[in-house]
Structure 1
Amino acid sequence: MSSVSTSASGDWRSTDTEVRILRTVQGTIGSRPAAVSVARGLSHFGEHALGWTAIGAVGALVDPRRRREWGSVAVGAVGAHAASIVIKRIARRARPSDPSVQVNVSTPSRLSFPSSHVTSTTAAAVLLARVTGLPFPAVLVPPMLLSRLVLGVHYPTDVLAGAALGAASAAVVVRAEKKFGER
C-alpha cells in the first residue's frame, strides 16, 4: 500500500502508485521522440494560458457577432490559470523528483498541484465548445493531460485536479455570463 508523505516544510509528495504510472507513461508513449516533441509543443502553447488567450482574442477579432463569447474563452483560461497558481502556492506540492522519472521540459516553478496547463486547457476547451458547438473538451484535454505526464512534470493527481478546476472555472464564467451578460 502506498502513502502520501509530507516533508518538514509541509509540502506533500506522491504515492508510489503515481510514480509507477509516470514511469509507465514515459516508458510507453514517452519513449517516442515524436511524442515528447508534441508534448513540448503543447507545453509551450499552454504556458501561462497564452495560447488559449490568443485563440480567444483572434476569435473576437474575426467573429465580432460573438465577441463576448470569444472573450470569455480568454478570460476563462486566464482566470483558471490564476486559480491554479493560488492553489499551487497553498498546496506546495513539489514536482516529480524520483530518479526514475525523466523531466523533459523546464518549468517556471517547482510547484506541481494542480497542473496549470491542464486547468487553463480544460476551461478554454469547455468555453470553446460553447462558442463553436464542437467537442473540444474531448479533443483537447486528454492530450494536454497526457503531455504533462510524458514530460515528467506532474503526477497523475495533479492533472486530474487541473481538469476538475478548469471545468469548475469554466462553469463560473458561464454563470457570470448569464448573470451579467446583457448589461
Structure 2
Amino acid sequence: MAAMELLDGATPVSRETAALSRVQGAIARPAVVKAARALSHFGEHSAGWFAMGLVGAALDRDRRRDWLAASAGVVAAHAASIAVKRVVRRQRPMDPSVRVLVGTPSRLSFPSSHATSTTAAAVLFSGLTGKPLVPVLVPPMLVSRLVLGVHYPSDVIAGSALGAVVGGLLRRRLRGRG
C-alpha cells in the first residue's frame, strides 16, 4: 500500500499526490503554466525533438547520418515509453488537490513520455553538439509535467531514466561508427 499523508489536515493522499500538489502550489503561476504548456506541446509525441534533429541533419552535412540516427533514437525512446505505459497502466493523477492544466492523449501516466524523449534528445544531441544539454533541457521538461498536473514525480524520474538508457546506448553506437 502506498504511503499516505494528510495534505489539508484531513484528507489522506499518497505522498506522490501530496508532492505534486505542493509543486503546483509553489510554482504554478500563470507565466510558469504558459511555459509548461509550450514545453508540453513541443514535446508531444517527441515531435519537437525529432524536428530539432532534422534541423541538425540539414545544417551539419558531415554528420547528417548521425543526426538522422539520433532523431530516430528520440522517436524510439518515445515508443519505448508508450510500450511501458501499456504494460504498467498507471492512471494519471486524479485527485481534487491536483489541477490538470493541459490535455493528454491518454490516461496513462508511467513513465512520462515527455521526460523519456526529452532526456534521450538531450543525451543524443549533446554527443553531436559537444554541449552539455542534459542539465539545460531535462529539468524544465520534468518540472513542467508536474506543474501541469499530468504526472507523478516517479513518472518523470522513470521516464528520464528510460530516455537516458535509450539515448546512452544509441550515443555509444554513434561514437563507434566514427
What residue number does 1:19 align with? 17
Alignment partner of 1:68 is 2:65: yes
2:36 is the counterpart of 1:39 = yes
After TM superposition, which residue ranges in structure 1, 4 or more long, deviate above 6 angstroms? none
**Pick from 145, 161, 165: which aligns with 2:162?**
165
Measured on the aligned residues, the alpha-carbon RMSD in Å equals 1.6
Contact 2:77 2:117 in 1 (8 A): yes
- Mapped partners of 2:124, 2:162: distance in 1: 14
Give the letter aligned to residue 18 of structure 1.
E
Name the structure 2 match of 1:81. Answer: 78
Aligned partner of 2:3: which letter?
Answer: S
Work out the CA distance in 2 between the residues paired with 1:73 and 1:43: 21
2:137 match:
140
Distance 1:150 1:63 in 2: 35
Q: Distance in 2 between matches of 1:81 and 1:156?
A: 18
Q: String of CA shifts for 1:128-161, please: whole Å, max 9, x gaps.
A: 1111111110000000000000000000000000
Structure 2 residue identity aligned to 1:27: G
| Structure 1 Cα separation of the partners of residues 98 and 70 of structure 2 | 34
Aligned AA (1:154): H
Match of 1:57 in 2: 54
SS in 1 for 2:156: helix
Of stretches 61-70 and 114-123 in structure 1, the one that deviates more from structure 2 is: 61-70
Alignment TM-score, normalising by the size of structure 2:
0.91
Q: How many residues align?
A: 170
Map residues 112-127 of structure 1 onto 2, 5 A cutoff: 112-127=109-124
Counterpart CA distance in 2 for 1:165 and 1:95 is 18
Instruction: Report how far residue 178 of structure 1 moved.
Output: 4.9
- Tell me if 1:3 matches 2:8: no
Structure 2: runs of 5+ lacking an equivalent: 5-12
Counterpart residue number, 1:8? none
Which of the residues 99, 103, 113 maps onto 1:106?
103
TM-score normalised to structure 1 length: 0.88
CA distance in 1: counterparts of 2:175 and 2:128, whole angstroms: 14
- Are the counterparts in 1 of residues 112 and 151 from structure 2 also a CA contact under 8 Å? yes
Give the equivalent residue in structure 2 for 1:10.
none
- The answer for the alignment partner of 1:128 in structure 2 is 125
Q: Residues 72 and 127 of structure 1 are in contact (CA less than 8 Å); yes or no, is this contact kept in structure 2?
A: no
